[in-house]
Each structure stands twice: as C-alpha cells, then as structure tokens.
Structure 1
Amino acid sequence: MPDITLLIVDDHPVVRDGLRGMFSAAGGFEVLGEAADGRQAVALAEELRPDVVLMDLRMPGGDGVEAITEISRRGLPCRVLVLTTYDTDTDTIPAIEAGATGYLLKDAPRDDLFDAVRAAAQGRSVLSPAIASRLVSRVREPRSGNLSTRELEVLRLVARGTGNREIARELFISEATVKTHLTHIYAKLDVSDRAAAVATAYDRHLLP
C-alpha cells in the first residue's frame, strides 16, 4: 500500500518540524512539503497534489479557512484536515463549511492524529470529540437566532455602519471571515441583508 502523502501548513517552524519528524518516524506517510500560510498552502497543494493537507487556521498572510475555500474552489483532490488550538464555533463551523474533511486539536494523542490522517485520506470525516459533541448540540438548537459571541461582535459593528474591511481590521480577522460570519447571521436571523439583520436583532433584543 503506498504511503499517504502530506502537506503540512503552520506558521510556526517548530510545529512543522515536529509534525514532519513524527510522520516520518511513524512509517506509512510521506511529507511532500510545508507551507507557512494559507496562500502558500494553496500553491503547494496545487503543485504537489498531496493526499492530505494538515491545515492550521490562524496564520498571518492568509488564514486556513480562506485556503480551504480556495482548495475546494479549484477542485483539488486533496483532503484537508484542520489541526489547530482553536475550538470555538467561529473557527470550527467556517472551516467545515469551507470544505475541511476533519477537525482536530493540537493536543490530540499522536495515534489519534495518525488515524485521523488515514481516515481523511479515505475521504472519511474526523472530528475531535469535544468539537463533535458541540456540533451535535448546535444542530439540535432551534433556529432562534442564537448568535455566537463573535457573530454578535460583528453585528454590533454592522449596526454602527461599519464596513467589512473595517470590521476585519477591528476584530483582527480577514474580510472573508467577516463575510462568513455575516452569512451565518443572516441564516440564523432568517434575513437576507445587513439592514434586515440589524432590525431583527433589535426586535429580538440581541443588540442593546
């Protein structure tokens, strides 16, 4: 059986070195390359065509969600397995919606990570237990406008007339992430634009 090929994406060289060493020592895996940000990840994914991309989320120079979105848009055959320290809804949901096959936290045991990569290579979804249980709870919630803390922050800025670029700058996120939050806000409030979202939020006392 051929080795599973990997592209490691993380802005910390020490993390990339550690993952490369771990997979090389395990056998059955081949690390084809490393990327330090999302833009480089997309370019290398297209060039190297790995089976699995191990993707960090928050990186300067292009975040993971943007990279996952672009990899999906280009129709690249690789599976993306998110490996990050962030487990909030504002991180997990956009990553999965963008096309990530799985989502693991960096404190996952080594064998769990190996198993997750094997599963991802076969196209099977893998979620860390904490994330899986939260996603199930979220799906079971009624669509009553239960906005996350970050979604409320975005909506408060929208209510002040702040544009997407300024919201991104103020919250230290990308414009693409702002748009993703707005999409979720519209869906939860059952509206189709900014003005309606703000009006509905005031009606439901979600905004002061």
Structure 2
Amino acid sequence: MRILLADDHELVRETIAAFLENEDGFKVVQSADLDGVKTAIKTHDPFDLYLLDFEMPGMNGLEGLDAVIELVSPKPVALISGSADKTVAQQALDQGAAGFLPKTMAAGSLVNAVRFMSMGEKYAPVDFMAKQTEAEKHPLQDVLSAREMQVLSGLVRGLANKEIAREIDLQEVTIKLHVKTLCRKLDAKNRTQAAIIAKEAGLF
C-alpha cells in the first residue's frame, strides 16, 4: 500500500511514517508542502492514499484539498491536523475528502483508519466529532428538557398545540403546560416570541 504523507513538521511526519511502515505492506513517500505533493504526483506512480496536513505551506485552507482531489481523483485524499475542529473536518468531508485524522490519534487507530480509507471508505473519529458537537451546544439546551425542546421545535415550525401533541404523542393540555414553561424559561411573552428567541439563538 503506497501512501503520500505531507506535513511541514518533520518530526510529526517521520513519526506517522514510522507508524505506517512498521506495518506489513506499507510504503510511505513524504513531502513538506503542497508544491512537494504536486511534484510527487507527477514523478511517482499513483498512491493508494494521499494524507495532507491542513496547515502546511500552500494549502490555503481547504483550497489545497480541492486541488489535490482534482489531480488524483478517484484516489482517496484525506486531511490530518493537530488544530482543526469538527467544522473543518465536516467541510473537508463535504468537499470530497476520504477522511479526517486528528494528530492525537493512537498509532493503532491511525493505521486502521489509513487502511479503511485506502479501501474507498470515509473515516472521521466518532469521539472527535461528538466531543466537538457537545462543546458547541447552546447554553439554552442545558435549561430546557428534551421534551421542551420537542415542543419548542413545533413552535418554531408554526405548529398549533394540537399538531404538536399529535406529533410527539402527548395530550394537548400537556403541550399547553410545556408552552407556558417554555415562555417562562425563555423570558418570552408568548409562543411566538419563544419561537423567535429559539430561532435567533440558532437552536433550530
């Protein structure tokens, strides 16, 4: 399995390459920047996977990812990073990346992820994506119960109490009580203002 690994931090690059080459069947070619990647693409046979550091010289955000994908498609191209967050990871996946690897990954997990992506599958660590999502949770979600969030979702969509009750299988009188509680917790004068507050807070 032939891997092109690009990272401007030599120690990081050498360490990851060592992890991979300790496994049977891995051959790693290294590069320090995007220009080096483009040169390697021209001078070597196609690789099974291209691993690009998000912040190395020449990348210019996700533009470098797009450029390499265009050059080597349909071969898989993935991002590695020590600083990018879940938003960057998701954007990379949406733009066609084969995956996203945090540099904090354990060696075994890294090797497995590389094998996975080389076989044409997409990969992003579940714990990394979930942890980032948890960190981005709006403070209001800590104040409202799961049921109140369901009712608030109905208000935002302009549903009547009867429609919300039918949707979440509760009595209409119970929905009225939830709406009253929501208005108190959100400091809203009525259901319309509660919906507006939720929208402005980006809850839905």
Instruction: Using structure 2 for the length normalisation, give the TM-score.
Output: 0.58
| 2:30 is the alignment partner of 1:28 | no
Segments of 5+ residues of structure 1 without an aligned counterpart are 138-203
Matched, 1:107 2:107: no
> C-alpha displacement at 1:10, in angstroms?
0.3
SS state of the match for residue 22, structure 2? helix
Residue 118 of structure 1 pairs with residue 115 of structure 2: yes
Is residue 41 of structure 1 aligned with residue 5 of structure 2?
no
Question: Which residue of 55, 61, 77 maps to 2:52?
Answer: 55
What amino acid does structure 2 have at the position aligned with 1:125?
K
Q: Give the corresponding residue for 1:81.
A: 78
Q: Quote the offset at 1:96 in angstroms.
A: 1.7
CA contact (8 A) 1:55 1:83 kept: yes
Letter in 2 for 1:88: D
Tell me, yes or no, if structure 1 residue 130 matches structure 2 residue 111.
Answer: no
Q: How many residues align?
A: 137
- Bigger drift between 118-127 and 95-104 goes to 95-104
**SS at 1:74 equivalent:** helix
Q: Distance in 1 between matches of 2:96 and 2:61?
A: 11
Counterpart position of 1:155: none
Q: In angstroms, what is the RMSD of aligned CA positions?
A: 2.8
How does 1:117-196 map onto structure 2 within 5 Å? 117-133=114-130
After superposition, the Cα gap between the structure-2 partners of 1:16 and 1:34, relative to the gap in structure 1 and judged at 3 Å, is same
Residue number among 89, 93, 117 corresponding to 1:92 in the alignment: 89
Q: Is the 8 A contact 1:39 1:62 kept in 2?
A: no
Over the matched positions of the two proteins, sequence identity in percent amounts to 24
Residue 135 of structure 1 and its aligned partner are, at CA, apart by: 8.4
Pick the structure with greater CA Rg.
Answer: 2
TM-superposed deviation, 1:82: 1.8
Distance in 2, Cα, partners of 1:52 & 1:94: 19
CA distance in 2, matches of 1:205, 1:25: 49
TM-superposed CA distance for 1:66, in Å, is: 2.1
- 1:51 Cα deviation (Å)? 0.4
Runs of 4 or more above 4 Å deviation: 134-137
2:54–2:84 Cα contact (<8 Å) kept: no
2:49 partner amino acid? V
In structure 1, C-alpha distance between the alignment counterparts of 2:60 and 2:26, rounded to whole Å: 25
Distance in 1 (alpha carbons) for counterparts of 2:94 and 2:42: 21
